[in-house]
Structure 1
Amino acid sequence: MNGDLVIAADFGTSGVKVGVVDAELRLISQVVETYPLYLAPGGHAEQVPSEMWSALVLAIAALHRNLPKLRERAGAIVFCGQACGVICVDKEGNPLRPCLTWMDKRGAKISNRLVGGFPNVRGYRIDKGLLWLALANGAPAQNGMDPTAKILWIKENEPEVFNKTRWFLDVRDWLVHRATGVFTTTPESANLTWIMNTRKGHEGWSEILSRIAGIPTEKLPPIVQGEDVIDCLTVSAAAELGLNKNVKLVGGASDVTAATLGTGEVEDGALHISLATSAWIAGFFPSRRVSISHAFATITSSLNYRPLLIASQENAGSALEWVAKITNANVESGFSKNGIPQIDDPYFMPWLAGERVPVDDRNLRGSFHGLALHHDKNALRRAAMEGVALNLRWGLEKVRQVRGVQSKRPLTLVGGVAANTEFTQLLSDTLNQELHVGAARHTGVLGAAVLAAKTMGWASDACNCAVRLKGRTQAVYYPDPSRATFREDRARRLNKMRGDIMRSYKHK
């Protein structure tokens, strides 16, 4: 290899985190650049692909200033990022419209129509549901957030775009093409279209599922592994990024796979929690798992299709930021000194954008329950933090019922919200669980860099490299017995009323 450093970029909902990682898996420099998210009524959530690329260019320019010899020392570059996006491109890779991000729900009715029919269970026609489960280990979500619904929404509402589209790409896919000129996708993105056969030994696009969905496989790019070398940078991309054109771009992965690698928790059944805009509970398993009743399952990861369980919740940091905004607080510092929690504090349901796990219902909405005249802004802030923590507890209780989960071990916490010490202690008390926090904001960057370990000669494969990150804990949180008892009582009360609250959002 020419060069001893890896540049890793983690493309999230609000911006890209870019870091430079050395052979000791040290993050020697990092930069964050933001880009807009365009929201509108009706489930509209879009981003402009070129703005993501421009953010990457700015971030790497800053890294050059921090590390003057980066051009000579960079040996590989890796992208990870948000999944379930849809970018329609022509044969040259030019976007035909903005990206429908993972948050976009405009295809919800279409998705319900696609999966529904008589007879059905939980909204899924039995024969279709069983076939999807057998082949893909899941089916399109009824909330319209999976790529299937987004592509079909474009087909119905923008037929000229659908017809002109040569490739339907996820966020990472387009960025890889922008850097190398090569069209690819990862197993995670492919699986989440629900047009991929994920059975062991049969992994690949499924013509059967393609016909059911009405999406032709010829518009879906080749599936590559996360450790594969895609190509070197194009001359133009190298010039924009200030890098040598012989820098190799490695396959990459979804943000969940990268974060899992970044925690070092790569044993089967080991879980971690990510808390950022949204939240997820995730971990590798030796074979496929699925919970139909609680709307989560394993998907195929970019590590040779190794099953990765993902249980996603829609609202975490986004809910805290919303409450901070309406109470004139700062989510980083303004949630401290909010007074002592009271047994009659209001409850907060953080379902501001619906929910996925353990209940998949786009109609759910956030609410404060049990407000009284004496409650003030501090009470609302306390309720918001507790509400996100109790929502995670609710989801984790269901995930821990999965066969093979290692439940008697500390949980690793990652994501920007994990850097909030007050919230993380509250979560430890709420879960009655020891929590370990490492590189909270940059775990995805480290995990993405690990995917280049084989190419760089750092290790035989990504997982063997990732275990070196295990135990790099910057903070440990232990539950306080008295506070844990208090949160247990609050959780028990919420469990009694949650069902009634959810039923109030059911459409007749």
Structure 2
Amino acid sequence: MGSLPKSSWSRNRDTPPPPPENLIWLQSVPIGFRRVTAAAPGDSYVLAVDLGTGGPKVALVSPHGRIAAHASRPVGTRLLPGGGAEQDPAEWWDAIVSATAELLDSGGLSPDAVAGVACTAQWSGTVACAPDGAPLRPAIIWMDSRGASAIRRRTSGPLRLYGYDVRKALRWIRLTGGAPGHSGKDPTAHILWIADNEPDLYAATHVFLEPVDWLVHRVTGRFAASYDSIVAHWVTDNRRIDAVRYDDGLVAMAGLDRAKLPELVPPATVVGTVTDGGAKELGLPPGVPVVTGSGDLHSAAVGSGALSDFDGHLYIGTSSWISCHVPFKKTDPVRNVASIPSALPGRYLVADEHETAGACLTFLAETVLSDDPAGPDVYRRLDAVAESEAAGAGRTLFTPWLNGERSPVDDHTIRAGFHNLSLSTTRSQLVRSVYEGVAFNSRWLLAAVEHFIGRRFESLAFVGGGANSAVWAQIHADVTQRRIRQVADPVLANVRGAALLAWHALGRLGVADMAASVEVRRTFEPDASQAATYDELYGEFVNLYKRTKAIHRRLNERSST
């Protein structure tokens, strides 16, 4: 496997990459290294990679879930006219190689101690690959909505319900558990957009891969997707959870070319070994086993320790979600919630998403308050300001829909805003309203998920970068009136989850042991005295969506298509 040239798509496109001023940082990952525990002689580790939207984290994880050391690097995102959002796969790879080198050089571990490699990544993205795996253009990531009009045409028909042809929707739901979202942010919409707008590049594409499956190919040379990583294409028959396969009718209905999709392999299995070229770049011995990749939703579920059916977790990173494993395949098309194949073999996982959560704090710091979002203390300072303000933020409301929304409404034109501002509104009220606005959004999603599973969560495991904030954990407990369990090292939940899945695939760890290896740092109890305040404001939060969605559609429909 040779070295991937930077900006390799420039050889295949007449249009150069977007100008630097479109490069932004979303909840960016800092450059950093941390040794957590000392390595013991004879210990073995999984090298786990978590490619988040802000950049990769790389960690060495023991069979007991202990993280010996971890390193991180930032990557940029280019926001383009019409709802575009792209990243450079070459930058991904360079960042992973750099972080891995630091990890091995500074961690005091021999490369021979690495027993396996596991990858997880931002989910629902698209990498158009040449026959050798080189990207032909920038990766289209999960935030990109340019394919909205194309997917609406594909899902429409003479007899429609919620914009879907009834017969098509029934087939999609019966086989997959869901359907392509009208926001245009699923991989099928990305591929259709490329076919419509870059036909020569589409024709030259050998295979379209999810970001995590591109990483697996980069290490092993194999084009493959796991049952769980392929789900968001909505072209697989998921009824037999142990034998997921492409359905030719769904592939045709979506307008895709089966020849341009990867082969399917079961989750939590060894998909290949590190090639000679991959070993040279990563500093590993050739032949190390590589496990199937997983999306961030799936690895977070494992890394949260909430592995029993109906045991829920709340994730806040750039985006957010509430999920749990369930013993059934089911779909709620109204609230955009479904159960899909899990990264754990033979299991289903609840899928939903909020587009922006932690990204709202980055936006607040950089755009509203003009602070340096990359500064080491920015989130700690925001925490202190939010904590200093009383619950309710002076009745200031923030709606956190900076990039539209997916669940419990699929609406790519809705936008964020501060509401009920006055001349007396303070900086601290603005800051706290962002924390509370994300929590109100979580409560809105919580109602949809609890309706879906038919029961109430008494508590939620809290993971992701947002879970580092004790202030946000308490606000979520108070707004949702649920117990919040802050998992230890919550920002590392995805790398931990990917590593635990790898140890499971290598036969070293059972599911019960995986759950037991995850430590809860602190539990936050809901403050009943805040319930009345938050109940009232939550009602107005949902009302703001209902009252303004038509306005935002008129303002943004043309610019988003």
Q: Which band: TM-score by shorter chain?
A: over 0.9
**In structure 2, what residue type is equivalent to 1:327?**
L
Specify whether residues 210 and 344 from structure 1 end up closer, same or farther in structure 2 by C-alpha distance, changes over 3 A only.
Answer: same
Match in the other structure for 1:155: 195
Contact 2:116/2:290 (<8 A) preserved: yes
**Alpha-carbon distance, 1:344 to partner:** 4.3
**Alpha-carbon distance, 1:110 to partner:** 0.7
Correspondences of 1:50-89 after superposition (within 5 Å):
50-89=90-129
Correspondences of 1:199-210 after superposition (within 5 Å):
199-200=239-240, 203-210=244-251
Q: Distance in 2 between matches of 1:114 and 1:455?
A: 38
Counterpart of 1:464 (choices 492, 506, 512) is 512
Q: Does 1:480 align with 2:521?
A: no
Specify whether residues 246 and 189 from structure 1 end up closer, same or farther in structure 2 by C-alpha distance, changes over 3 A only.
Answer: closer
Match in the other structure for 1:128: 168
Q: Does 1:217 align with 2:258?
A: yes
* TM-score, normalised via structure 1 length: 0.95
Match in the other structure for 2:138: 98
Contact 1:345/1:375 (<8 A) preserved: no
Q: Secondary structure at the match of 1:188?
A: coil
**In structure 1, what residue type is equivalent to 2:369?**
T
Q: Distance in 2 between matches of 1:404 and 1:6?
A: 37
Q: Does 1:164 align with 2:201?
A: no
Match in the other structure for 1:42: 82
Q: Distance in 2 between matches of 1:404 and 1:481?
A: 24
Moved more, 325-334 or 356-365: 325-334
Q: Secondary structure at the match of 1:31?
A: strand
* TM-score, normalised via structure 2 length: 0.86
Q: Distance in 2 between matches of 1:498 and 1:348?
A: 11
**Alpha-carbon distance, 1:3 to partner:** 6.9
Counterpart of 1:310 (choices 351, 363, 370) is 351
**Alpha-carbon distance, 1:65 to partner:** 2.1
Q: Distance in 1 between matches of 2:507 and 2:239?
A: 31
Aligned length: 503
Specify whether residues 343 and 425 from structure 1 end up closer, same or farther in structure 2 by C-alpha distance, changes over 3 A only.
Answer: closer
Q: Secondary structure at the match of 2:324?
A: strand
Q: Does 1:253 align with 2:302?
A: no
**In structure 1, what residue type is equivalent to 2:551?**
S
Correspondences of 1:386-465 after superposition (within 5 Å):
386-405=436-455, 407-438=456-487, 439-459=489-509, 461=510, 463-465=511-513
- Alpha-carbon displacement from aligned partner over 1:267-302 (angstroms, at most 9, x marks no partner): 111111100100011111111121111011112123
Contact 1:458/1:465 (<8 A) preserved: no
Match in the other structure for 2:25: none
**In structure 1, what residue type is equivalent to 2:541?**
L
Specify whether residues 27 and 342 from structure 1 end up closer, same or farther in structure 2 by C-alpha distance, changes over 3 A only.
Answer: closer
Specify whether residues 494 and 50 from structure 1 end up closer, same or farther in structure 2 by C-alpha distance, changes over 3 A only.
Answer: closer
Q: Secondary structure at the match of 1:441?
A: helix
Counterpart of 1:243 (choices 280, 284, 309) is 284
- Alpha-carbon displacement from aligned partner over 1:132-169 (angstroms, at most 9, x marks no partner): 11111111100000011100111111111111111111
Match in the other structure for 1:367: 417
Contact 2:391/2:530 (<8 A) preserved: no
**Alpha-carbon distance, 1:335 to partner:** 3.7
- Alpha-carbon displacement from aligned partner over 1:344-369 (angstroms, at most 9, x marks no partner): 42211111100111111001011122
Match in the other structure for 1:327: 369
Match in the other structure for 1:26: 66
Q: Secondary structure at the match of 1:474?
A: strand
Q: Secondary structure at the match of 1:189?
A: coil
- Alpha-carbon displacement from aligned partner over 1:433-484 (angstroms, at most 9, x marks no partner): 110111210011111011122454422x4x23322235x1112111122123
Match in the other structure for 2:223: 183
- Alpha-carbon displacement from aligned partner over 1:364-396 (angstroms, at most 9, x marks no partner): 011122111211222211211111110110110
Counterpart of 1:229 (choices 266, 270, 290) is 270
Contact 1:29/1:63 (<8 A) preserved: yes
RMSD of aligned Cα (Å): 1.8
Specify whether residues 482 and 457 from structure 1 end up closer, same or farther in structure 2 by C-alpha distance, changes over 3 A only.
Answer: same
Match in the other structure for 1:282: 323
Q: Distance in 2 between matches of 1:322 and 1:288?
A: 37
- Alpha-carbon displacement from aligned partner over 1:383-421 (angstroms, at most 9, x marks no partner): 11111110110110111012354x243210100011111
Contact 1:260/1:447 (<8 A) preserved: yes
Match in the other structure for 1:383: 433
Report sequence identity in percent.
32
